[in-house]
Amino acid sequence: MHDAAAPGTVAPWRATVLTLYPEMFPGPLGLSLSGDALARGAWSLEARNIRAHGLGRHRSVDDTPAGGGAGMVLRCDVLAAAIDAATPEPDHRPRLLMSPRGTPLTQARVRALSAGPGAVIVCGRFEGVDERVIAGRGLEEVSIGDYVLSGGEIAALVLIDACVRLLPGVMGKPQSGVEESFEGGRLEYPHYTRPRDWEGRAIPDVLMGGNHAAIARWRAERSLALTRARRPDLLTEREDP
């Protein structure tokens, strides 16, 4: 229903987050560029409480791990009920589970997600979720890095922030998204602004000279050198000489 935009308009990018802590949203995304864009309807955010589908008088959502061990596991039946209630057909958005075991999030994936209709994002807690709901509801596991958070909420905020800033009209100039780190497999060149001299450190002369070709060359060189030094894994075979 919500996927169909009126003719000539674009449906706003839509995030639905399933969480035990809906109060964490929009959180920092309610401020600055993402907050302004949210307020004017360029994207939307719905945080739904998994506990609304909890069982019994205590609305229980978790149980002890089969086979024993520490911690608690989010129940598959509870999570599936929450997902089903949040996505009445038809809903073509990708369903993501924030998870340290997931595919590492990249700028390319962020771009693809941002170009789509939005995302349904499940936030784990405790030891994680019952494995069966991942296959049963077609969840794609996404990680924001090789470290363990206490819950998926901050990871979801990271993913949504990265997507929303790429939506048309959210960032000041469209160009500022094109030369950034990871675009074209490079880290970005260094930035400077006034004052020209600061504590004995001057802005490189080439940036003050007004020769745009020379500036572009300098930036490309710095970008390549930084990438070689810090993230050689990003460099493709198409590397410039």
Residues that bind ligand SAH (CB under 6 A): 98-101, 123-125, 127-128, 143-145, 147-149, 151-152, 155
> How far, in Å, CA of 57 to CA of 182, rounded?
49
CB of 126 to ligand SAH, least distance (A): 6
* Identity of the residue, 39 or 147, whose beta carbon is nearer to ligand SAH in the bound complex: 147
CB of 16 to ligand SAH, least distance (A): 16
CB of 102 to ligand SAH, least distance (A): 6
CB of 129 to ligand SAH, least distance (A): 6
* Identity of the residue, 92 or 101, whose beta carbon is nearer to ligand SAH in the bound complex: 101
CB of 18 to ligand SAH, least distance (A): 11
* Identity of the residue, 163 or 170, whose beta carbon is nearer to ligand SAH in the bound complex: 163
* Identity of the residue, 117 or 151, whose beta carbon is nearer to ligand SAH in the bound complex: 151
CB-closest chain residue to ligand SAH: 124
Structure tokens belonging to residue 44: 């939307």
Inter-residue contact 43 to 164 (CB < 8 Å): yes
* Identity of the residue, 122 or 170, whose beta carbon is nearer to ligand SAH in the bound complex: 122
